[in-house]
Amino acid sequence: LQGAIIILSLYLGWFFTETKHRIADKHWLLNRKPFSCRPCLTFHFGWILSGVVALVISNLAFFILGATLSLITWLILEIENDSMIDD
């Protein structure tokens, strides 16, 4: 289940930062981090979704694992984002 949450977070982070549905372009208040940053938005989707599922199943360990995996995902995306060459 955590894998599905991370995959969903990755998709939502991409969808809302790198497509025509970019959140930061919808309103001037949203034109800042985490809404304009794919790693940041993915991290927030990950821990929030893990928190919601953890509340539903009443399992604190699930939330801790989800938050940790979200942080690791953020770190990987941040490293990938920094290593990209801008044209």
Average pLDDT for 50-58: 96
Instruction: Kindly tell me if the per-residue pLDDT of 53 is higher than 90.
Output: yes
Q: Per-residue confidence at 33, pLDDT binned at 50, 70, 90?
A: confident
Whole-model pTM: value is 0.85
CA atoms within 13 A on the CB side of 66: 26
Indicate whether 81 pLDDT > 90: no
Per-residue pLDDT at 86: 60
Cα 19 to Cα 12, 14, 36, 58, 73: the distances in Å are 10, 7, 12, 35, 20
Residue 87, pLDDT > 70, answer no
d(CA 44, CA 16): 12
Q: What is the per-residue burial (b if ≥16 Cβ within 10 Å, else e) of 18-42? A: eeeeeebeeeeeeeeebbbbbbbbb
What is the average per-residue pLDDT within 15-38? 88
